[in-house]
Amino acid sequence: MNRCALALLIGVASAAHAQDAVQSVLAAAPQLVRFAGSPENFYSLVTGLTEGTPARLAAPGAGGFSRVTTITVAAPLSAADAAGRLELARQNLELIGIVQPTPEQISAALVGGVLDTPSGRTQMAGVLPQTARAAVRSQLEPDQRTPTPDELAFARLPVEIRSLLAGLPPREALLKVELAQQHLIAVGGAYTDPERLRAMLQIVLAPQSGAYSVSSASAGATSFPAMSPLVAPYLPAR
């Protein structure tokens, strides 16, 4: 058998094995398709974990580009193990309020890392075994589609603000920012300070957390019951 034919057979066998793994994980945990962000991300993630090839996770980024995170495990997992660990990562993120994670958040749940959440910064231990711990790389790649004005505005927000709002549609995320800015104006705060804005966004996103205080230049620390200044939370209007 010549080398070309052998390479073709190896490629077909590898593709068949990858497809079997994807079907097995899909049957065991169909919710992981939404968790991955898209069917393409799901396929790449499962194939990467079970084949040891780079798993490419893409999401809209700054205008004209996509944010791409590539995860490459050191040792492949079985389909059953991959399904179990992906589901554990999904549950761990859900416990801290992240239902629709970004590629970066999925990476942190799998490999480990620090995440900004509505309740504060959280250290994720990672669910992958030490023998399969992955190399992670994030980059921007050209996006073929034209981003919406809301996506462009969201991409211009500070990275810590975007991290807090990850998973929300851009329109809704921008309205949350606007609401937080209104609350800061009500207490005399400088809402252009990303740290103040991040603290107020945590209140906007988790209003049940109780009273809060914000320092202002004119009046010092001012305390309010949860969500009292100016306006109540509202849903995005189309």
Q: What is the mean pLDDT of residues 109-118?
A: 86
Residue 168: what pLDDT? 75
> Using 50, 70 and 90 to split pLDDT, how confident is the model at 62?
low
Residue 223, pLDDT score:
46
Q: What is the mean pLDDT of residues 45-74?
A: 84
Q: Is the pLDDT of residue 10 over 90?
A: no
The top-scoring range by mean pLDDT among 126-130, 147-151, 190-194 is 126-130
| The pLDDT of residue 217 | 43
Span 75-98, average pLDDT: 94
Beta bridge partners of 152: none
Mean pLDDT across the chain: 76
The larger pLDDT score, comparing residue 186 to residue 118, is at 186
Instruction: Return d(Cα 216, Cα 213) in angstroms, integer.
Output: 10
Residue 17 is predicted with a pLDDT of: 62
> Which residues, in sequence order, are CB contacts of 44 under 8 Å at separation 6+?
55, 56, 57
pLDDT number for residue 159: 77
Strand-pairing partners, residue 116, are 121
